[in-house]
Every structure is written in structure tokens, then in C-alpha cells.
Structure 1
């Protein structure tokens, strides 16, 4: 049985620390700085076969950033045994996780589930894009269910379950004969809509809605090709918004650290400086108590 793919990132002195374990997928570092990295996510074999249970575990440390790039789309192939694709992400205080998903295609004669579990801490932020396609060329697609369970330190941010199985999606007001859905979800802050539609409005097959707490979502549904001029630019704009705030906060932290005497480049205080600082009050006390000559 193939284990989960695990990926973690923590800030470092000259560059961030990336650790990963290969499962159904493996990791390649594309870019890196002291606070985080952009990584490519690539399959180690054909995915998603009947019976596959792919699991990806992501841990973004406090004050780190991680941008995940999927190398290719994923096809859930036909078969008798259900398959699944699960992402489990934990983002620390001040961290940022961005993930632009490639198309997830559901073939005929397969039941598959795509689930996402997110835990945010403090001022952590997550931005994810999910592209779903029902059926390959000439197909109508099998049974698909999706779930999103996102929480922060206070409680639920967004909890969603979509039943897009063949019988359910033909019911009035569900999905009808549509085949594609593109969703951009921001959690931890509420970005403004990019371009159309305006906030609180619904265009043909598209909806922008701010969440009840901290977050927003843009969703497009259609018959065929994705409306890339809407969701892709929105993801790019929201990612820039999240990273702009991240860089500003990290710059302010570095200025505070540099103002503290003895602090090293990585933000830590050497042991000698700590001991000297602790001894300073005793030295001053001895000087003040010494008899005058």
C-alpha cells in the first residue's frame, strides 16, 4: 500500500527548509527563498486508477509560504473500485499556502471522491483553485463527490459537500448537462472580486460570494472549456494580494529583529548574547553598590 505524500516547509537563515516524503506523487523544488518555496507536484505513476487512495499532507510552518504547482491534470480512470484524492493541509500563524490545481477529470464508470481538509492558525492564509471535469471526450462522466472542511482557531470557515453523482446532478437546479466547474477559494482573508462578476452578483454560470467569516469564493460552471479569463486571473490577483501582505509582515518582523542587539540573521539570539544580557543587571547592581572613593 502506497503511503501519503508529505510536504513541509519552515523558514531558514539563507533559504527555507523543505522536507518531503514520496507517495503517489513526488516533489520538485522550483524556487526558494529564506521564507518559503514554490514546488512542483508530479505523479510517480499513472493516476488515478481504480482503487487508488491518493493522500497529500502539507505543513506550512508559522511565517512560511508555499506555492504548489501541479505538473499535469489528473484523470480518474474507470473501474469497479472507488478512488479518492485527499489533501490535508495545516498552515501556521502568518503562513501562506497557495495551490493552483490542474483539471481533475472523472471518466465514465468510476466513483471517485476529492476531499480537502484545511486547518489555519492565527493569521495564516490559504488560496486554492480546483478544476473539475465530468467525462473525457465523448463521455458524460462517472460519480463524483467533493468535500471541503476548513477550520481556524475559532471554528469552521467553510464546510461544503457536493454530490455530483450521475443521478444527483440531473436533479433540477443541481448541475444539469454542465460538465465543468472551476472554483477559487480564499481562506483567512476576504479579497475583493477581480474583474467580473461584481460582489454579490451572479452572472451566467458564475458566482462570487464572501464567506460569513474570513474568506471568499469564486465559482464558474459551464458546458465545456474553462473560462480561463475569469478564474485564472482571479487566482493570480488573489495570490499576489496574499503574498504582498506576507512580504510586508515579514519585512516588519525583520526590522524589529534587526533592532534587537545580538540577534542573528535567522532571527535567533546567540547563547552568549543571552548570557551577557542576563548578567548586565547584576553588573549594574554591583556598580551602584560599590563604595565611593
Structure 2
């Protein structure tokens, strides 16, 4: 299908677009403001260290002994370091921010690339992993929409979104490799048949809330990343992610006429609970200054402001 006709499968969501564009207008202009001597701006990668180094049979370092991050951030990589030239430490890196895509049911936590020590590489590898996991999620959505008698436009849009995610995965993998990291393997348990309500609940959580917020964050990064290559990679991705968010809301609107009032109320409650959980996640995380500066990741305060701007739309 011609790229310029991608948005014609179903009408644009004017309310969603106005909301996201209004929030993106608050993005700081490039070049980014200087750090003004704030020590937060010059700190190194966030790591937790332990002297307990467990080696694998092949002699490589194992991340199994890495401690749990105090704020629950996922482990992305580990390696060894000898800061004093003598004692060898295991350095464990954690990612404290990421764009949540449409995580499929049964997605297993990623096994990080052991050895990468660059937080930029860890970020892009993690995002690539999320993008790759979204491919089967959209294919499943397409099959379920067809099975439940949804309009063909929604089915085609879901399948096209899966194709978009393949391209996104490759773009993020390239950025990860540029910084010495590899995408973790995607491991998903086999899908089982489920009801229309179950499909819609996942769509409400992963699509209407997390994917909508992810589209907003990606758009923010495409405008504010100090690294020109990151901005160039994220511009087309941000347009695709906006359409994916529109698809989620279009599926929600279509399903509303097929669910009971009680079921619709449960979907609303699911969106509200997910929004609250996302707010807690964002509140507990402080992105490293380098990710804010070079990758355009919104700071905690900026992310909370963006999330607050979605409250009326989502809840």
C-alpha cells in the first residue's frame, strides 16, 4: 500500500490528534538548554555494583547475581569493572524509562545483552525488544477482529501496524548496535482463544493507555533528541505510533456497541487503573541526564505533565 494512503483506512481521531499535538507544543526547542552546572547532567551511567561475580561455563559474566533495582527498573545489561585497578566488580545497568508498546499477553521478561555498558544502547535495545513484541500482538489483534466480525478496515489497519513494527524494530536495532547493544530475544507464550471482552480489555490497557502514551513520548523524542540520527529515526516512527493509538481507540469505539453497559464500565475502569499505574511508574523513575539530552527522553516532570494531559482523553 502506498505510504501516503496509510491514514485512509479509517477516519483520523481528531480529539486524539489535537490532544497529542497540544501536549507536544510544550516540548523544548533545540538546541536543548545547557545543564548550568547541575551535577545531575554530568553523571555517568546508572549502575548498581556487587562483588559477587558469577561466571558462565564459557567464562563470560552472568547477570544472575545482579541485585533488584530499588525502584523496580528492569535489568538491561551487566559487565565487569575494576575502578581501582584491582578488585573486579560486577556492574549492573538498569533502564529507568522506555516507550511501552502493545505488549502481548504472555510476553516473558527480556534477558539483557550481557556486556553492553552504554545506557543509550540499553535504551534502544529495550525499545527494539518492545517493538518486536508488538508484531505478534498486532497480528493476533487482526485475527481476533476478523473472527469477531469487525470492519475490514480495522483488520487491515492491525495487519499494517504489525508491518510498521517490523520497520521500527530494525530502526531501533540499528541505534542499539551503534551503541554496542543487541536486542534481547522476544519470548511469548502461545496464544489461546479469548472472548471479545478479553480482547477489548487488552486493547484498553495496552492500546488506549500505554500505546497512546508511548506515541506521545516518541513524538516528544522526535522533537527534542539532541542526537540528529535519533530524531531522524523517530520522526516516521512517531507518525506510525500515532496511527496505532488511533487504531486502539477505533477498536474501542467499534466494540462499545457490542458489549454490555457493565462490560463497558469494566473497560473504563481498566483504563483508569492503567493510567494510575503508569503515573506511579513515571513518578518513581528519574531518567539519566544523557538519555534526556541525547535521546530526548522526557524528564520525570515532563513525563508526568504529558501523562496528566492525557487524563481527560483516557479516563
On whether the aligned pair clears a TM of 0.5, the verdict is: no
TM-score, normalisation: structure 1: 0.28
- Greater C-alpha radius of gyration: 1
More helix, by proportion: 2
More strand, by proportion: 1
Tell which has more relative contact order, 1 or 2 (C-alpha 8 A, sep 6+).
2
